[in-house]
Each structure stands twice: as C-alpha cells, then as structure tokens.
Structure 1
C-alpha cells in the first residue's frame, strides 16, 4: 500500500527516525521545555507520552511491514493498539510512580507536630529560639517559642505541641524510661 507516493514501510521508517530524534531531544532539553508545555502536560497533552506513542507506533508498524505480508490497514490497527497499550503501561507503571516519588521528599509543617527535637538556639521566656528536628530524610531547623513561656536552654530535648504562623510551640521533653 502507498500513501502520498511513499510505501507504508518508508512512512513508518521516517516517522520512527523523526519520533526517536524528537524523543531524544526532549529528554536532553526537558528542563527547558517543561515550562513551555507546563499548562498542557498537566491536562491532556504530555509530550513524553505523545512522543513515546509516535515512536512505538512507527516502530511496530515498520517491523510488521518488514517481516510480515499482512494487509497494511491491519498492520496500522495492530500498531495503534500495541502503542496505546505500551504507552498506557509506561504511564501507569513508570511515569506516575516517578512523579509521586519526587514529591514524597517534601514535608508539611503540620507533620512536625508531635515530633521530638533539640534546641540549637536557646528559647527565652517571651521570645524566639530555634530547634532542630531530625528525620529520615534530613534535618529541619525551625523557629520556636516556649509554650509555657519558660526559658528553654540550648541542648534541651523538646516536643512540638502546636504550630501557629510557621512557628513551633514547644515544651521540654522528658523521656522518662520505666524501670521495671
């Protein structure tokens, strides 16, 4: 079968070369191009998925045209279905988990409530100091005031009771171990 004077095999090959080249360029320039596609990629147009679809469609079509003697329309339908299936699997099992993994390193200030930390800049009775809260993903230093309006010296372990306006309200933490 021919389309616009070219065989389907040639169309698939040219599309594969162009799609593969654009995919490679998008990978190299994705940080720059991310701003261009930002509004579109979150709704209906994800360049990674579109370029993957074009590349997989043309690659599958080219291989089937080259090694089988099937009808070109049947090959096109098979290539579209297989490309849709593979792009869906790519999105569900690779792209979505990667995007959620990037955001899992962030924390909300509300997550600090109930955590134990250490005073690194002493907290005066009616003023601000600083506390350090250690976690698996790193250390967090935040401004803090004493909940009881009592001074808390540097090096004291504290417990975060509440958070207001980004400031931790803390109290000294007594880690009493039971002697049984």
Structure 2
C-alpha cells in the first residue's frame, strides 16, 4: 500500500509543479481530466484541482498513518481516504467555487447589437461591406457592416444597427443629425403660462 501512497503523493506534487511551470500548456490536460470527472460530478463538487489535491493529501496521509500509527491496511486506507476527501471538498468550497463565481464575462451575443449606435469606420458602399465601430459595455468593437437600405454610408457617419444578418454582418442605417443629437431624446419643452 505504501507504493500507492507514494504514487498519489508524488503524482499530485508533480502535477502541481507542472501546473505552475507550464500553466498554459496543461489547460488541455485539465479539460480532459475535468471531462473524466464529470461522470462522477455531484452538483459541481468535483473539479480537477480539487481532485488532484485530494489524491495528494490521500497519499500523504496514508504515508504518515503507515509510518507512525500502524493501524493496519484497511483502517489506514479508510482514514487516508476520508482526510483526502475532506481536503478536496474544503479546497473546492473555500477556493475553487468562490473563484468560479467571481469570474466575469465580457461576452455578448450578436443579437445585442440591434439598436446600438456607432460610427462608420470605413465607407459602406451601397452594395458591399464596410466597417463600423460600436461600443458594447466597456468594449469598443469593430464589426463588418452593410447598408440596411442599400444607400452609401460615408466614413465617420453616425449609424444605428438595424439588424444582424445570419453571417454576423451588421445591417446599419445612417443617423441624421437630429436623431444623433442628445436633445432628440429629450421630450420637447412646453411653454407654461399661468392662467
């Protein structure tokens, strides 16, 4: 049993060291391990990091129990497995789960472009493609665009996205000066008379 403990401890430590040294290269290995663990996943509890940490702690606890306690093989394995499982769950609850919940996504769907305003970055010919600049949240995006009504849209013209084509091209229309003005959004002022 000592060999299995050493294998778990050494393998976990080696994997952790490789993870630190070759962070980007091991992403594929972690995804493969994550796929294998998904078969046993109960409500997102198991993940590769927690699993490897649990195996490492199992190996270390087994070696300590075998060397210093001498309970016998079965009790040692049960206790080492329990310590490894508790460690894996604790790591998941204290570190992995909060980190996953704190991840932000700046992604957005193509459908969210409809109604957004921007500016023609390059001229959009009547029957061709150009480029527009549209702000999406804190991001500025450059997108391929075509004229919605088939009219020429010169560069630097304020535009509005009317539709998104199936291929992802934004169909845009030019904004007139009144439509683009902040005053156009405000309701007209009314003259109040005291009667």
* Common fold: TM-score over 0.5: yes
The farther-off stretch of 137-146 and 19-28 is 19-28
What is the CA RMSD across the aligned residues, in angstroms?
A: 3.7
Counterpart in the other structure of 1:44 = 37
Q: 1:24 aligns with which of 17, 23, 41?
A: 17
TM normalised by structure 1 equals 0.68
The number of residue pairs the alignment matches comes to 171
Whole-angstrom CA distance in 1 between matches of 2:92 and 2:37: 13
Deviation digits for residues 79-114 of structure 1, max 9, x if unmatched?
A: 322322332454465169549948x34443333233
Shift of 1:30: 4.5
The farther-off stretch of 113-122 and 89-98 is 89-98
Q: Is the 8 A contact 2:37 2:48 kept in 1?
A: no
The 1:105/1:66 distance shift into structure 2, 3 A limit, reads farther
TM normalised by structure 2 equals 0.64
Structure 2 residues not aligned, in runs of 5+: 39-46, 190-195
Where 2:55 maps in the other structure, the secondary structure is helix
Whole-angstrom CA distance in 2 between matches of 1:14 and 1:35: 22
More strand by proportion, 1 or 2? 1
Whole-angstrom CA distance in 2 between matches of 1:42 and 1:14: 22
Deviation digits for residues 141-176 of structure 1, max 9, x if unmatched?
A: 111112122222222222212111221101224242
